[in-house]
Structure formats: structure tokens, C-alpha cells
Amino acid sequence: MARVGVFICHCGENIARTVDCARVAEYAATLPGVAHAVDYRYMCSDPGQRLIETAIREHGLTGVVVASCSPHMHEVTFRRTVARAGLNPFLCEMANIREQCSWVHEDREAATAKACELVRLMVEKVKWNTALEPIHVPVTRKALVIGGGIAGIQAALDIANGGREVILVEKGPSIGGHMAQLSETFPTLDCSQCIMTPRMVEVKNHPNITLYTYAEVEKVDGYIGNFAVTIRKKARCVDEALCTGCGECQSKCPQGKLKTSVIPNEFDLGLSRRPAIYVPFPQAVPNVPVIDKEHCRYFQDGKCGVCQKVCPAKAVDFTQTDQVVTEQVGAIVVATGYDVMSSGEYGEYGGGRYPDVIDGLQFERLLSASGPTGGEVKRPSDGKVPETVVFIACAGSRDRSHGVPYCSKICCMYTAKHAMLYKHKVHHGQAYVFYMDIRAGGKNYDEFVRRAIEEEGAVYLRGRVSRLYQKDGQLIVKGADTLSGQPVEIAADLVVLATAIQARPGSDALAQMLKVPYDGYGFLSEAHPKLRPVETNSAGVYLAGACQAPKDIPETVAQASAAASKVLGLFSMEQMEREPTVSVVNERTCIGCFDCERVCPFGAIEHREIRDRRGNLLKVVSHVNEGVCAGCGACATTCRSGSIELRGYTDEQVFAQIAAVGV
């Protein structure tokens, strides 16, 4: 005979304002099978929980119903409470009389009646509940980090320093990402490469990190704790083990001879040219060249082969092919970063047409000592030192008409930095900044922008530029200063557009492969915007850096370390506990139609062969992988032979609830 305890929570005023909790408790006490019913101000508080524990012991309860908020809030709390009193946690159910009752109704009488009904339904269900034991899944304590920008580097180092193995996969020939392209960084103006390269080297030398550069993740199977990932290592055509990084090949490649070279250097965003065999930048990790087959003469018409001849280490190998490796990992950190909108998208600003209209990243290269001008600010068209530079903020961001209504967050800061660094390099130069609002929230950030204005003489003009055009070797910028209400016209030598930060092309395909939701702009979505900012809704997959939203370096690094700590937390156990509310198949009645396999959104259905003692195949039935099953119940409702049951939501339990409606 069932002995159910019912506990009605007031949630302060939240429930009690609309629901007469004492009356609900009185009513519950009259229900068949209910041995005890009380109401209390805060059931989740310590005394509230003690109330439940004591009642379980004193009344010998076999089931508990807590009528309070949504199970999303406190199911875990109350399950632990009943477990402390020696009852199986899955014999506890919650009736939601807050979100589904008091918060959405005003009529006290009707709300109280509805609360009684919700309680009755749960009492009927809990009578059919059975004790369930958590599922244990083994955990492969090795992580995969996708993307080798500062986010991926930080996450990999943190996990590796925590004593776990890491595989870092980077698409490009070197790790470093965008941070390696930057000159100096706000708000402290320290040299980006100086603070970054030690970390890059550490990644290379760390015994716990396996680095795959020039590689991409092709396939991800499995589930939290047990992923199988397929990685394609593209052919570099240079043997990493033999190459000494002497650079002989690069300097001799005929495609790189200055005048004739036509290959834009991606690292310098097209501001310089590179040979067909190249290392993207001097501090690259690994310092091993790759051959760009599209532009290599040997691959195009079978001639040349100079690099192979001059290489003293005999490392050049034209016959190298892509290699595909499979790795087992327990957790995945996605750190694939961002892209900047091309300035070509802004016709009215002459982007893509005028060589002296460049984007912010290109300006970083002009400022950088490792850049095409050796750190001197010279404009691309004629190499002249620009004496007037106009910076245009929000060139693409906060612009519905260009499909980017969001704020890119970092441009205000790097534009102030650009104005400042320009002044440091060209003392007699004048910087103008067109802006709409200055967003400089952050430690020492607003002070930084004020410094650009007050001490470095940058003239800030509040307004959007309408148009710019070329005239007599200069760029005429037409804007307005809305603070003085005056139209403004400036003849500039160079114009720098702070173009929008966007998700990488292909981030949607990657997200689909990892089953991670993403927003309309292609940024990957965190599981909760406030409380679970580095987790995703795909268990075991975490986010770090600008692949989630535009961010600066401090934020990126913080998020990367947070993701690493989540991974290390997961890896602190050899086995992982999962909720037992998963589907089970009755192998006797399953007819092997596999409709369940077609509807399962998580790929949890496997095929199991049933054989007799002599090994003859009798039939193939469905089997649910408990590690993957998310307990959504799609299979159970689809199964035509009624062979699948979702634990905790069995037919008996659900029918009992339905039967209790409106009694």
C-alpha cells in the first residue's frame, strides 16, 4: 500500500498570493494513498528540507510529491533531500504550482482548485514510480580542442596543466589565430606577439598536448565522455619531422620573387605577397612551411621543384597525401574564433575599390613590426605616410541594412588604440574618429579612450559617415557631427573601417556536426546566457572565445579557462553518473522496424543481434545507448509494437495521471 507525502510550498508570496496553500494541503490529505500532507513557507530552505526528511522517517513514506516551482529549479534539491532520508531519489516528484499556476492566474479560487488538481495528478503518478539507479558511463579523460587561437591555446594549456591529455586541432598552418596578427593590445598596449608567442611555444612543447596543424575535424561520433573524432591532416608536402625551419625553400621559390609574386599573403590580409611554399609568419608554431598547391608551379604544370632541390634536410615531399586519424576523447572545446566583415561590403565607403580604405585588421598589420611595412604606417596605394587618418567605427555593426544589428563590442576599444598608436608613430599626424556611441565598459577601458581624446589629440566626431570618394590622391570623407549639428568634410590620406565581427563562414556546419545550437548570425550558443555561459546544450561540448560572440582577449581567455575547468571537472571521475530516465527496449517484442532510429534526434539507437546458443542469428532488435539517450521519449511514442518505455515516464505512470484529470 502506497504511503505518499505531499509538501506544499508557499514560495514566500510567489505561490501563496494566488493559491491557498493550506487548503491544498488539507485536500491532499484526503487523497487515497496519501499518508501525510503539509504546507510551508519555503520548502527549499534548510528547515523545509528537514520537514520532508523527518516526515519520510516518521510516516514511513514510500513516495513524495513536492508542490512548488518548476523541476528545472529544484528537482535536484528535493531528490537529494529524499535520498538523505533513505528513500530512492526517483520516488520524488514535483507538481509545478508556480510557473504553471500561481504566476499565470489571478483568480484565487480557480488557482487553488487547479493546484489541487496538479497535486492529485502527481500523487497518482508517484504511486507507480519505481526506484531507479543512476547510470554509470566510463569517461575517456582526454580532450579535443578545435581552433588554435588564444582561446584554444589557453584551454589546451589549462587542461594539459591539469594533468590531462589534449589534442589541439588547428585549421591553418600555424596556431595563434587573430591575436598573432595584432600589434599592441588595449588597454595596456603590450605587444601582442610578445605575450602570445611564449604560450604558443608552450603548447608545442607540452608533453600532454598533441598538436595537429593544417588539420580539420571531419566527423564526431559518440557522446559525453566517449566521443570518437575523425581528423584530416592535410598534406603539407613538407615532412614535419625532418624540416629544420631554415627557410631556404621560401626564399628560393620563384613564385615568391617580389615583383612577379601574385599570391596575397593571408596573414597580412593581402597587404603583401608570399611564395607558394611558406610559413605564415616568423614566429609560427610549428615553424614548418606548407605548399600552397594552387599556386605551386610543380603542382600546376609539373615544372620547378626548386624547393625540393634546395632543402638541405630533404624535407620537401611532393607525394605526401592527406592523413586521416581517429581519436577517442571525452570532451570537446570549440574555439574557432571569428572573422571580420570585408570592407568591400561597404560600397558607399569605397571599400574594395579604393586601396587606401582598409579594415582594422589590416591597420594592425601596418602597425606591427612583423607587418609588410616593418611597423611604419604607410598607406597601401603609394607608400606615403598618411598625415590625416579617418577611423570609422560601426562600419557594419549596428547596421540593420547590412544584416548586422548587433554591436561588435571590441571596435570602440581598438579604434581608440589605433588612433593612439598612429599618433605614436606619426607625431605630426591627425586622427579623426567617427563614432555613434563609445562603448568602453571594462577595467581601465574608458580611461583608455579618454586618453586617446585628451592626451593623444584624436578628434572624435559623433556621427556616421555618409559617403567617401577619391579626389586628387586623397579620400574625401563626408560625415556629420551631430553634437554641434554641423556637416563635416575631411580630406584624408587613409581611412580605416572598424568592420563588424562576424562568425566564421562554415561555423554553422561545424555546429551541426557537434549538435550545438547556433544563432542567426552563426555564433555558437551557450546553454544558458547567464548561468551556463561555457557549456552548450550538447553534453560534453564547451565553448571558448569569439566563436560564441564578439569578445576581446581578456574575456576570451577567461572563458577558455572556464571551459577548461569544466572539462577537468568532468575528468575528475573515471565514470560519469547520468540520470536513469532513459529509454529501454523490450527485446522480446521489438520487431526491428527501426522507426525509433529514424526519430531519435540524438542518434542513441543501436542495432543488437539476437542469436541462439549455436550462434544462428534470430533477429536484429533496437538497443538504446544509455550514454547517448537524452530521455526525450520520441522513440517511445513512435514504437508501433509498444516495445520502448521511457524510465520515469512509463505508460502506467502517464495513464495514471491522465485518469486522474478532472476526477
Ligand X SMILES: Cc1cc2nc3c(=O)[nH]c(=O)nc-3n(C[C@H](O)[C@H](O)[C@H](O)COP(=O)(O)OP(=O)(O)OC[C@H]3O[C@@H](n4cnc5c(N)ncnc54)[C@H](O)[C@@H]3O)c2cc1C
Instruction: Tell me which residues touch ligand SF4 (CB under 6 A).
Output: 253-255, 275-277, 291, 296-298, 304-307
| Integer Cα distance of 222 and 220 in angstroms | 7
| Integer Cα distance of 486 and 202 in angstroms | 54
Helix (H, G, I), strand (E, B) or coil at 280: coil
H-only helix segments in 127-247: 150-161, 192-205
Is 481 near other proteins (CB under 8 A)? Answer: yes
- Among the listed residues 99, 216, 239, 376, the single contact to ligand X using CB under 6 A: 216
Copy the grid coordinates of residue 422.
Answer: 598612429
| Integer Cα distance of 598 and 501 in angstroms | 38
Number of C-beta neighbours around residue 461 at 10 A: 21
Is 365 near ligand X (CB under 6 A)? Answer: no
Copy the grid coordinates of residue 76.
Answer: 535536484
- Among the listed residues 480, 560, 585, 644, the single contact to other proteins using CB under 8 A: 480
- Among the listed residues 302, 485, 505, 601, the single contact to other proteins using CB under 8 A: 485
Measured from the CB atom, is 153 or 492 closer to ligand X?
153
The size of the interface with ligand X (CB under 6 A), counted in residues, is 38
| Integer Cα distance of 94 and 77 in angstroms | 11
The size of the interface with other proteins (CB under 8 A), counted in residues, is 22
Residue 296 binding: pick among ligand X, other proteins, ligand SF4, none (C-beta 5-8 Å cut-off by kind):
ligand SF4
Phi-psi sector, 253: left (phi>0), alpha (psi -120 to 50), beta: beta
Per-residue binding string, ligand X, 143-182, x by CB under 6 A, is: ---xxxxxxx----------------xxxx----xxx--x
Is 347 near other proteins (CB under 8 A)? Answer: no
Number of C-beta neighbours around residue 603 at 10 A: 14
Residue 297 binding: pick among ligand SF4, ligand X, other proteins, none (C-beta 5-8 Å cut-off by kind):
ligand SF4
Measured from the CB atom, is 482 or 512 closer to ligand SF4?
482
Is 348 near other proteins (CB under 8 A)? Answer: yes
Is 556 near ligand X (CB under 6 A)? Answer: yes
* Interacting positions 483-542 with ligand X (CB under 6 A): 504, 510
| Integer Cα distance of 236 and 316 in angstroms | 9
Residue 559 binding: pick among other proteins, ligand SF4, ligand X, none (C-beta 5-8 Å cut-off by kind):
none
| Integer Cα distance of 555 and 553 in angstroms | 5
Is 399 near other proteins (CB under 8 A)? Answer: yes
Number of C-beta neighbours around residue 598 at 10 A: 11
Is 487 near other proteins (CB under 8 A)? Answer: yes
Residue 478 binding: pick among ligand X, ligand SF4, other proteins, none (C-beta 5-8 Å cut-off by kind):
other proteins
- Among the listed residues 252, 462, 515, 623, the single contact to other proteins using CB under 8 A: 462
Is 552 near ligand X (CB under 6 A)? Answer: yes
Is 400 near other proteins (CB under 8 A)? Answer: yes
| Integer Cα distance of 574 and 539 in angstroms | 17
| Locus of grid cell 493550506 | 22
Residue 182 binding: pick among other proteins, ligand X, ligand SF4, none (C-beta 5-8 Å cut-off by kind):
ligand X
Strand order in 541-543's β-sheet? 209-212, 165-169, 142-146, 331-334, 541-543
Helix (H, G, I), strand (E, B) or coil at 445: helix
Is 608 near other proteins (CB under 8 A)? Answer: no
Identity at 269, one-letter amino acid code: L
Cβ atoms of 562 and 337 within 8 Å: the answer is: no
Shortest Å, Cβ 305 to ligand SF4: 5
Is 23 near other proteins (CB under 8 A)? Answer: no
Which residues lie closer than 8 Å to 218 by C-beta, 6 or more apart? 230, 231, 232, 324
Is 360 near ligand X (CB under 6 A)? Answer: yes
| Locus of grid cell 574575456 | 555
Is 361 near ligand X (CB under 6 A)? Answer: yes
Identity at 347, one-letter amino acid code: G
Measured from the CB atom, is 272 or 474 closer to ligand SF4?
272
Copy the grid coordinates of residue 81.
Answer: 533531500
- Among the listed residues 54, 323, 482, 572, the single contact to other proteins using CB under 8 A: 482
Is 520 near other proteins (CB under 8 A)? Answer: no
Number of C-beta neighbours around residue 577 at 10 A: 11
Measured from the CB atom, is 125 or 178 closer to ligand X?
178
Residue 170 binding: pick among ligand SF4, ligand X, other proteins, none (C-beta 5-8 Å cut-off by kind):
ligand X
| Integer Cα distance of 641 and 639 in angstroms | 6
Helix (H, G, I), strand (E, B) or coil at 507: helix
Is 422 near ligand X (CB under 6 A)? Answer: no
Is 351 near ligand X (CB under 6 A)? Answer: no
Compute φ and ψ for 368, nearest 5 degrees: -85, 140
Which residue ranges make up the site for ligand X (CB under 6 A)? 146-152, 169-172, 177-179, 182, 185-186, 216, 335-338, 340, 360-361, 364, 410, 414, 417, 504, 510, 545-546, 551-554, 556
Which residue ranges make up the site for other proteins (CB under 8 A)? 348, 394, 398-402, 436, 462-467, 478-482, 485, 487-488
